[in-house]
């Protein structure tokens, strides 16, 4: 025979111990305030790439774009760290890297891609507009290296 007391013990009891109410989202997910730093950075990268794509879209069809938080570093001493060719660095810290087309570790063909590193770029920018300008400069440099032309030609002399 089941008693009321036994039934109450089985069901999880939710308490609002300090009168703060149930915890949940502060903002609806559709508002800009709910976006994470990474999502905002991704949007800035796409915005910075847009004028370059408008001008060089047909040449960039085989180029991918990726965003990583930080660059991967092999476990060596700090004095021995050497970045791969195609790496754009500031004071020894990579901001972006052009990875050429080739074969991945599984033996499958891979496309060329630009990898932009979020945390080093955010650390160097003083604000949103500064970050957008820095992203544009970095992408211009990397696209110029991919196309094997001067950065001024990629940007169209606009500054």
pLDDT tens readout for residues 30-76? 777 767 888 899 999 999 999 999 999 899 999 999 999 988 877 66
User: Which residues are bridge partners to 68 per DSSP?
Assistant: 117
Q: What pLDDT sits at residue 4?
A: 45
Beta-bridged to residue 87, according to DSSP, are: 97
Say if CB 122 and CB 41 are below 8 A apart.
yes
For residues 61 and 75, what is the distance between their CA atoms, to the nearest angstrom? 35
Domain presence at residue 105: yes
Assigned domain for 25 exists: no
Residue 92 domain-assigned (yes or no): no
User: Residue 16's pLDDT is what?
Assistant: 62
Pairing between β-strand 109-110 and β-strand 93-99 as defined by DSSP bridges: unpaired
User: Residue 49 is part of which domain span?
Assistant: 38-71+98-159
User: What's this model's pTM, rounded to 2 decimal places?
Assistant: 0.74
Q: What is the pLDDT of residue 88?
A: 79
- Within-domain flag for 3: no
Is 23 within the bounds of a domain? no
Q: How many domains does the chain have?
A: 1
Buried-state track 129-146, b at ≥16 Cβ within 10 A, e below 16: eebeebbbbbbbbbbbbb
Q: Tokens for 55?
A: 């001008």
- Tell me the CATH number at 143: 3.30.2010.20
Predicted confidence (pLDDT) per residue in 100-156, tens digit: 988 888 889 999 999 999 999 999 999 889 999 999 999 999 999 999 999 999 987
Q: What is the model's pLDDT at position 117?
A: 94
CB 116 within 8 A of CB 45: yes
Q: Quick one: pLDDT at residue 77?
A: 63
């Amino acid at each position: 025979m089941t008693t009321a007391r036994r039934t109450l013990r089985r069901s999880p009891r939710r308490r609002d111990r300090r009168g703060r109410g149930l915890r949940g989202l502060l903002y609806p997910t559709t508002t800009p305030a709910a976006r994470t730093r990474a999502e905002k950075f991704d949007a800035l990268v796409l915005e910075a790439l847009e004028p370059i794509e408008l001008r060089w879209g047909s040449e960039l069809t085989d180029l991918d774009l990726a965003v990583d938080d930080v660059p991967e570093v092999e476990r060596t001493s700090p004095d021995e760290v050497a970045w791969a060719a195609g790496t754009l660095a500031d004071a020894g810290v990579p901001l972006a890297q052009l990875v050429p087309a080739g074969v991945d570790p599984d033996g499958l063909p891979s496309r060329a891609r630009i990898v932009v590193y979020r945390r080093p770029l955010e650390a160097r920018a003083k604000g949103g507009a500064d970050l957008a300008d820095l992203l544009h400069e970095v992408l211009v440099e990397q696209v110029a290296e991919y196309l094997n032309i001067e950065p001024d030609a990629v940007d169209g002399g606009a500054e």
